[in-house]
Amino acid sequence: MASGGRVSVARVYDDVGETSGARILVDRIWPRGISKEDLKHDDWIREVAPSSELRKWFDHDAEKWPEFRRRYLSELEDNSDAVGRCLDWCRKGRVTLLIAARDREHNQAVVLRDHLCALLDAEGFP
């Protein structure tokens, strides 16, 4: 995945890195304990987050990860407007997808990052 370095994932509670690029919140719900003024972000694309039904079903259960990934990818394929907004940011430079989830390996931003990188690779982006 050549575009892998162009899109990263971070928790909203992490320190802001100097090389994080555009910071896009991709949770459907605003993260607890952070005001909109305090979160350093460039956009909030809540429409790209998993449906409420899928999010509640998954409930951050790592055993459900393979099925969550499959279902969420299906939702992303049907959500070209929100994915397109994310791609627009990616085409401009580095992007950090922000999430509130504690699990850094099993969350929607990981799936979204991989999906965006695959789309960018198909377009020939480095």
Across the 126 residues of the chain, what is the mean pLDDT of every consecutive 10-residue run? 74 80 95 92 97 95 96 96 97 95 93 96 84
* pLDDT given for residue 19 in this prediction: 61
pLDDT digits (tens, 9 = 90+) for 29-41: 999 999 989 999 9
* pLDDT given for residue 73 in this prediction: 98
Domain ranges within the chain, ordered by starting residue:
2-123
* pLDDT given for residue 1 in this prediction: 46
What's the per-residue H, E or C state across 30-79? CCCCCCCCCCCCCEECHHHCCCHHHHHHHCCCHHHHHHHHHHHHHHHHCC
